[in-house]
Each structure stands twice: as structure tokens, then as C-alpha cells.
Structure 1
Amino acid sequence: MSDMLAIGASGLRAYQVALNTVSENIANAGTAGYTRRTTNIKEVASIGGISAQAIGSGEGAAVIGVQRAGDMFKMAEVLSSGSDLGKTATSVGWLDRIETSLSSSVLSTRLSSFFTSATTLAGDPTSTAARSAMLESANGVASAFSETGASLDRVATDLDTTTRDTVSSLNSLAATLARINQGLGRAAPGTAGNAALMDQRDQTLEAMSALTDVHVSYDNAGRASVNVGGSGGPLLVDGNFNATVGYARNASGTMSFSVLTGVTQQVMSPTGGALAGIMDGAQRIADARQQLQGIALNFVKDVNTVQSGGRDLDNNAGANMFAIDTSAGTAQVSATLTDPRGIAAAAVGGGQRDNTNLAAFAAIRTSGGYESKVVDMTTTNASALAQRKSVADAQQTIRDNAVSSRDALSGVDLDTEAVDLMRFQQAYAATSRVIQVARDTIQTIIDIR
């Protein structure tokens, strides 16, 4: 009877753990990052009078551990697809900011208006209204250059802030993963605590993959080691230790990253995640600023050259119409000519009604190609933006499929849990009945004596 009581008690303990596990699954069915657990129950057999977990003559049941339904291969697909999406989505964001900067000031339209006003003035070089209109157009061009340049400069500043925040987040995640690794080294395998730590580990890795491409390896305790920038990249997390990521941007706008381990610094070359998208955005912003500055410098120089080659309405040598302050930012152009009479419409010795010098404005419009260059910048960026958006849509689908595939294995299915709940409740009730029968039998024997 004592054997019967012990067998019932072992089953009661085992199914209590199983019911707790099912309850935990149901309670966390909607919890992000939670992985389904199952209780492994084995028969306790007697071999030569010694109890062991094996198949044979039964002596009850025992829990040998709580198993987590995670799959490292499906997790790797989630990390890889998340890294790809992170790069493209981040790149889309910066391309969109560049497009807004280039199009909001309608620079190409203002340039066209300026050269059109010069053509209009050529019809009547003495017209005060036409001269005033040309100066108004000159102010419009200067403002458009300055607004576009200032907008691109703000984008570059915002990119620095975003980079700093992203690097800080990555370093924080690396430190968190190191602490989780430390916990995994202490937690007993097959326990609920061990499974919870692995859930936290996977959530941390997924967040890291959105910031940079990660190569992950695991030891027997489930601790993760992480290389960044590919499998050959520097080691960011190794067991309980984590290095730190730093970044720099040179005068030309090129971004670079490094991993600092004590006094050792290794180059980090992210090919995925937000950091890779930031690197791409930094280069595109730098290129756009350089191109715009070049267009502005050439425009100011060419227009001022035309002015200096002619005579104004008072037969004076033409004064500069524009100035550019290279120390104030990108394409910071100002209109310096304020008197409409100062427009040099005539050639030297041509007289007030001469419009010969205005033809030079049409010539530099063609040779300089300022409008077409601005349009090309805008359309090239817009084309890249559209292409990246298309790629991002495809990568979003790939990542969603990877997450669904992982969750199909590791996610909680309430119908399955309901079946297990009833099964373990019945088993628990049955073992309780075994204990009751054993007690009643023992009591009957005692009463007979």
C-alpha cells in the first residue's frame, strides 16, 4: 500500500507541474516574445531495487524538465530578415527626408523664373517693372538655394542624433544580453526560469538584429555570443562580457563604426540593420549637399561674371548680383543687388536700350545646366526612394513569414492548451483518487488489526 501511495503522490506532483506549465502558456498567449513550454514526464522504473528514469516496471512518474519550443534555425531566419528590413526601412526614411528637402523650396522653378525674367527684360531694357521683377526673381533663387541647403544641413544634424541614439540602444542591448548570459549560466537546465531567460535572450537578439546584422552562436547553456557586421565581424557579446560600439563621421559626411574592447578598437562594417541604413543615408545626404553647393557656387560665379561684363542703366560696370557664404552652411546664397537700375543689360558702349549683355544670361543657362542638375538630383533620389520602398515591402513580407514560421512552432495555441489542460486535470484527479484509495485501504487494514 505504501508503494501505491508513493506512486500516486509522484503522479500528483508531476501533473501539478504540468498544469502549472499549461496555465503559464495560457496566461502568456498574447505576450510578445513568449515561447510555449511543455512538461516532460517520464516513468520512474525500478531496476535492481534502484529507481531510475527508464522504461520498465513502473514506480510512478517524475518531471525531468520543462522544455521550451524554440528553434534556433527559425530564429536565425527571423534575425536575418529583420536585419535586412531594418537597413532598407532606415534608408527609405533618409531618402524621404532628402526628397522633401530638394522639392519643398521648388529651386528648379525659381531658377527658371530668374532666367525667364532676364529674357523678359531683354524686350525692354529700360523697363523699371521688368528690372524689379528680375531682382524679385533673384531674391527667390537665393532664398530657394538657402532653404534647400539649410534643410539638408538639418537632415545631416538629425542623422547624427539618430546615429548616436541607435548606437546607444545597441550598446544597451549588448549589456542586457551579457546579463542574460550570466543568468543562463546559473539557471538549472529544464526549469521555467531557464526558459524565461531564453525568451529574454531571443527578444534581445531580435532587437539587436534590427539595428545591425548579427551572427549568433550558442553554447550548451544557451548563452549567446554575437559578432556584428557578419560572421567575421568583431565580437560584441561573448558570454558575460560585452564590448561597446562607437561611431564617427568625417568632414565629407562618411560614417564609420567601430567596436571597442578595452583599449582595442576593431572596424565594424554593418551590412544590415538600421546602422547600415544610416551609413547609406549619410553618404546620400553628403552627396546631395556637395552637389547643391557646387550648383550654387557655379550659379553665383556665372551670374556675377555676366554682370561684371556689362553696363547698368547708368552706364556703370555691373555689380555682383549674388554672394555665397561658404562658412554658414550648404548653398547659403544671398541677393546683393538691390537697385533695379544696377542690372547690367547693356554691353560696354551699348547705351540704355541695349540688351546685348542679357543674352549672356541665356548662354550660361544653357552651359551651366543649373535647372537640369537640380531636377536630376531630385529625380535620382526619388527613383532610389521608390526602389527602396518596393524592396522594403518585399522584405516586410519575408520577415512576416519568418516570424509566422517561428511562431507556428513556438507560439501558444489556445485550442492545444485547452486539450492539455483537460488531459492533465483528469490525470491529476486520477492520481488523487489513487492516493485516496491507498489511504482508505491502509485505514481499513489498521481498523481490522
Structure 2
Amino acid sequence: MASDLLAIAKSGARAARTALDVTAQNISNASSAGYVRRSVSMQEVSSGSRFSALGDLNLSGVRVSGVVRNADAFRQSEVRRTGADSARANAEVRGLENIESAIEQTQVYQSIVAFESSVQQLLADPTDGSLRAATLESARTMANTLNIASNSLDTAGKGLRFEAQDGVDQVNRIAGELARVNLRLSRASDASNDQSSLLDQRDTLLEQMSQYVDISATINSDKTASVTIGNPTGPALVVGGATASLSMATAADGTVSFAVDGSAVALSSGSIAGHAQVLTKLAETKTNLDAIAAEVVSVVNATQANGVDLDGNPGQPIFSGTTAADIGIALANGRGIATAPAGAGANSRDPGNLVALRTALDTSNPATAMDSLLFDVSSAVSGRKITRDALDSIASTARVALEAQSGVDLDQEAVNLVRFQQAFQANGRVMQVAQDLFDTLMGIR
């Protein structure tokens, strides 16, 4: 009996010590990102006896069957999915705010209104040199603000493409690390501490990757992860220890597209997808801005050609260029503004051509077009902010649910620490009792 008691107590002490080690590990990693709480799985050890009836079992202690990670695959998948949507929305908002700043803070709208106002003021006295100089200067200011707005949009586009390319590089880096973890997982012992640590790394890498692109992860029987882009039928990015390469291509208009080992792929979530969507909006905005600049150049220069300047010469173009980026002033001074109709003499006070210019500007209405462009971008920013806030809330809820299930509860771990410590001490006491019984038996005469 003493020998049986010693064996039972030994197994119990060993199990309690393992449980204490795991509990201590949980407590020390309570604030570690990506750590999943562990628990010890125990099984009773039973054996038959030649003195017992058929089918009878004798309990012979306990054994540790493994260390279990308290992870929920569904909750982890939800964190990845909602996190990817949230990352996309945040990237969109930041990019759209940059577009809004590029065309709003440069005050293009105000400069167009100021130019139209100066033309109106020149009607009061078409021969006044100061009014002519002011009109030409307001035209120059408008051209400069259009240049600055176009350059600002180009700068915003470069920043977005840089961030998108950095995201692509990060995805490829994470994919390589995940492949190495897969190889180590395929060789790790089941339910071991090493395997548990590798599984933490695997899940952390999957979550990091989902911040950049929308992925579908399949957990294989050997605990390795296979990753496809988008959905389970999308192009494979990681299979076992092998990886494919995500790449980005830039079109002439600054928009970007993506491919996996040369096969085109459409991204719908993750920060990279957000950057791509903003670049599409930026290209549209730049096209509209160029259209406004081209309309101003066309209307003003066409009207100039139909009149004569202050010296009685045929009107010459006021603006050069055809886009917001290259629009400039072609006239040397204000005397060249063709305020009088064709056939009028020098120093004519006839404002007929200036009236035609005013009418043409009212018809094309570049100020309203610019205001609509600003409103469109501002509306997009406002709408995306609402979407972002909603997706952030959903992502936070999913993360809270995961942490509640797999996170470390220090209060519970403190209870476990006391419980397993008492179990260890109790098993030590059983060993002492077994020793006392053995000594008593040996002392019988």
C-alpha cells in the first residue's frame, strides 16, 4: 500500500508542479500582446489488479496529458476580419483628409471667386491701369493656387503609394515569417509548451497580416496555417513552408493594382485596400481639377481672341497651359487684357468684350464647379468617418470577446496559484503518510 501511495502522490505532485508552472507563465505574460492563456489538461491513471474482478479498475494517480491553449478559432477569425475592415476605413479617412486639405487649404475656390470679382470691377473703368493690373494679378494668383493644389494632390498620391508599397512589403515579410513558423510547427510535439508558443506566433502573424490585406486562413491538422488572399478560393499566399509574393503596379493616373505571383488580385479589406481606394478617388479629383483649369483657360483665352487690348491690338491669351499643374500667365502686363470688342481703337472705353468674358465665366461657372469638387471630397470624408467609427466599434467588440475568452484573468490565476500550491503540499503530505505507514509496518515484531 505504501508503494502505491507513493506512486499516486508522486504523480499528483508532478501534475501540481506543472500546473503551477503554467499558472506562473500565465501571470508573467498577462500583458504580453498575442499571448493566449494556457491551462493544464490532466487525466486519471488507472490500472487493473489480479485480485480484482473482471472490468474493475484501480486508480493509480494522475498524469498531465498536455498544455491547452484557450483559443477560439471563430473569435480569432472575427478579430482578423473586423480588424481588416477597420484598417481599410482608417486608411481611407486619412487619405481623403489629405485630398481635402490639398484642395481646400490652397484656397483655389477663393482665388477663382477673386478673379471673377476683379473682372467685374474692371467693368467700372476698362482703361484704368490699376484695375487692369489687379485683374492680371488675381489671374496669376488663381493659376498659382491651381498649381499648388495639383502639386499637393501629387504629393498626397506619392505618400499613399509609399504606404501601400510598404504594406505590400510587410505582407511579404509576415508571410515569410509565417512559413518558418509552419515548418517549426510541423516538427513540434503535440500539446507541448514549444508548440503553444509557436501557435501564439502563428495567430499573431495572421492578425498582423490581416491589418494590411483581407485573408482567409485555414488551420491544418498539423496546426500549420494556409493563407489565401480574399477568400478560400483566392490565390494562395502561404502553404506550409512555401510562400508566394504580393506585388503592386502603378498605372499612369497614379492608381495601383495588385497581383500574387503575377496573378491579379482584388483587395477589399486591410489598409492596402484603403490606400488603393483613396488613390482612385485622388485620380478622379485631379481629373476634375484639371477640367476646371482647362475650362478657365479655354473660356478666357477664347474671349480674349475676340477683342482688342488697350493699345487696339488683337487680344492675346491670358493663360498658358491646359491643366491645373501647368496653368500659368502668358500676358506681360494688364494693358493686354482685351476689354473692347474687335475693331475698337486704342484706349477704347467700350467694355463689350469684357462683358462677353463676364458672361462666359457665368456660363461655365468654374467657381461652382470648384465648390462641387470640394463638397464631393468633404462629403466622402464625412461619410467614411461614420463608417470608420462603426467598424472600429465592431472591431473593438470582437477583440474584447476574444480577450475575455483567451486572455489572462489575474484574479482567476491567483486562485489557481493557491489551489495548485495546496495540491502540491497535499501530495507531499500523502508521501509523508506513506512513509509513516511503511515505517510502522517495518517496526511490527
TM-score range, shorter chain: over 0.9
In structure 2, the residue matched to 1:234 is: 235
* CA displacement at 1:419 relative to structure 2: 1.1
**2: distance between equivalents of 1:275 and 1:159?**
9
Q: TM-score, normalised by structure 2?
A: 0.95
**1: distance between equivalents of 2:438 and 2:184?**
47
In structure 1, the residue matched to 2:214 is: 213
- Correspondence 1:31-430 to 2 at 5 A: 31-47=32-48, 56-260=57-261, 265-324=262-321, 330-351=324-345, 352-430=348-426
Query: Contact (CA 8 Å) 2:297, 2:322: kept in 1 or not?
Result: no
* CA displacement at 1:109 relative to structure 2: 1.2
Query: Contact (CA 8 Å) 2:293, 2:322: kept in 1 or not?
Result: no
Query: Contact (CA 8 Å) 1:297, 1:331: kept in 2 or not?
Result: no
- Correspondence 1:426-441 to 2 at 5 A: 426-441=422-437
* CA displacement at 1:445 relative to structure 2: 4.9
**2: distance between equivalents of 1:38 and 1:55?**
31
**2: distance between equivalents of 1:360 and 1:194?**
81
Q: Which structure 1 segments of 5+ residues have no match?
A: none
* CA displacement at 1:55 relative to structure 2: 10
**1: distance between equivalents of 2:188 and 2:35?**
18
Query: Contact (CA 8 Å) 1:322, 1:333: kept in 2 or not?
Result: yes
Q: Which amino acid aligns with 1:393?
A: D
Report the secondary structure of 1:58's partner residue.
strand
Structure 1 residues 383 and 211 mapped into 2: Cα distance closer, same or farther (>3 Å)?
same
1:397-417 CA distances to partner (integer Å, 9 max, x unpaired)? 111111111111111111111
**1: distance between equivalents of 2:365 and 2:120?**
17
Q: Which amino acid aligns with 1:277?
A: G
Query: Contact (CA 8 Å) 1:74, 1:405: kept in 2 or not?
Result: yes
* CA displacement at 1:41 relative to structure 2: 1.4
**1: distance between equivalents of 2:99 and 2:108?**
14
Structure 1 residues 55 and 382 mapped into 2: Cα distance closer, same or farther (>3 Å)?
farther
Q: TM-score, normalised by structure 1?
A: 0.94
Query: Contact (CA 8 Å) 1:92, 1:388: kept in 2 or not?
Result: yes
1:410-438 CA distances to partner (integer Å, 9 max, x unpaired)? 11111111111111010000111122232
**1: distance between equivalents of 2:296 and 2:72?**
61
**2: distance between equivalents of 1:324 and 1:154?**
21
* CA root-mean-square deviation: 1.7
Q: Which amino acid aligns with 2:383?
A: Q
**2: distance between equivalents of 1:289 and 1:339?**
30
Query: Contact (CA 8 Å) 1:35, 1:410: kept in 2 or not?
Result: yes
Report the secondary structure of 1:64's partner residue.
strand
**1: distance between equivalents of 2:342 and 2:268?**
60
**2: distance between equivalents of 1:81 and 1:56?**
51
Q: Which amino acid aligns with 1:372?
A: T
Q: Which amino acid aligns with 2:368?
A: S
Query: Contact (CA 8 Å) 1:227, 1:235: kept in 2 or not?
Result: yes
1:174-228 CA distances to partner (integer Å, 9 max, x unpaired)? 1111111112111111111111111111111111111111111111121111111
1:322-368 CA distances to partner (integer Å, 9 max, x unpaired)? 11276xxx532211223121111111233421111101221221222
Query: Contact (CA 8 Å) 2:49, 2:57: kept in 1 or not?
Result: no
* CA displacement at 1:446 relative to structure 2: 5.2
Q: Which structure 2 segments of 5+ residues have no match?
A: none
Report the secondary structure of 1:211's partner residue.
coil
**2: distance between equivalents of 1:55 and 1:109?**
94
**2: distance between equivalents of 1:39 and 1:99?**
55
Aligned residue pair count:
438
Q: Which amino acid aligns with 1:356?
A: G
Q: Which amino acid aligns with 1:267?
A: A
* CA displacement at 1:231 relative to structure 2: 2.4
Structure 1 residues 268 and 123 mapped into 2: Cα distance closer, same or farther (>3 Å)?
same
Q: Which amino acid aligns with 1:154?
A: T
Query: Contact (CA 8 Å) 2:319, 2:331: kept in 1 or not?
Result: yes
Query: Contact (CA 8 Å) 1:149, 1:332: kept in 2 or not?
Result: no
1:358-382 CA distances to partner (integer Å, 9 max, x unpaired)? 0122122122221111111110111
**2: distance between equivalents of 1:47 and 1:137?**
102
**2: distance between equivalents of 1:360 and 1:27?**
80
Report the secondary structure of 1:123's partner residue.
coil
Structure 1 residues 369 and 331 mapped into 2: Cα distance closer, same or farther (>3 Å)?
farther
Q: Which amino acid aligns with 2:92?
A: S
